């Protein structure tokens, strides 16, 4: 049986990690960009491009290994650009896996409120200043069905 892979997509504060943990409870292995970065001592976002590339490279290796073992995987990162989503699709294509993108559709005011309450206490609580939060929202490239399977998930209040 071919492994299933979900790419959880949305801006910071959209609820991606909460959604990914629910899939983890359903049997998926969860790969978290923020946790991997935190483990490497990277605490401020956005990460420099080289550091982000290294974190993603590590996730790619783990993803390939898990999928080759037949495990279902959920990847928890912003996937803010189509290019970032395509990079993971390229990792999976030789394995015969077409990932499903889960877009967390969370109202911008909710995202901004959640980010304003962050304290920096852990990998899913990284402080995002208001101007950066707005830039994340404005720069987010919403996935479309022409990229592949897409599920829109309500991001809550």
Which range is least confidently modeled, 4-13, 18-27, 34-43, 75-84? Answer: 34-43
Model confidence at 56: pLDDT above 90: yes
What is the predicted pLDDT for the residue at 47?
85
Indicate the average pLDDT of the chain.
93
Interatomic CA distance for residues 112 and 62, integer angstroms: 32
Task: Give per-residue pLDDT as tens, 66-98.
Answer: 999 999 999 999 999 999 999 999 999 999 999
Domains in the chain: boundaries:
5-154
User: For 103-138, how does the pLDDT look when each residue is reduced to its tens digit (9 = 90+)?
Assistant: 999 999 999 999 999 888 888 778 888 898 999 999
Write the CATH number of the domain with boundaries 5-154.
3.40.50.300
Q: How far apart are CA 45 and CA 73, in angstroms?
A: 24
- 76 HSE (CA, 13 A, CB side): 24
Collapsed DSSP state (helix, strand, coil) of residue 37 = helix
């Amino acid at each position: 049986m071919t492994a299933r892979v979900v790419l959880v997509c949305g801006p910071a504060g959209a609820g991606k990690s909460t959604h990914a943990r629910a899939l983890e409870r359903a049997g998926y292995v969860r790969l978290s960009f923020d946790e991997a970065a935190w483990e490497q001592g990277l605490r401020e976002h956005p990460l420099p491009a080289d550091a982000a590339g290294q974190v993603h490279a590590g996730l790619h290796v783990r993803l390939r290994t898990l999928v080759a073992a037949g495990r279902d995987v959920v990847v928890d990162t912003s996937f803010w650009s189509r290019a970032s989503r395509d990079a993971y699709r390229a990792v999976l294509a030789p394995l015969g896996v077409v990932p499903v993108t889960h877009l967390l559709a969370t109202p911008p005011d909710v995202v901004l409120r959640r980010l304003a309450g962050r304290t920096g206490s852990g990998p899913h609580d990284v402080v995002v200043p208001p101007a950066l939060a707005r830039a994340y929202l404005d720069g987010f490239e919403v996935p479309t069905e022409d990229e592949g399977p897409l599920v829109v998930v309500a991001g809550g209040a």
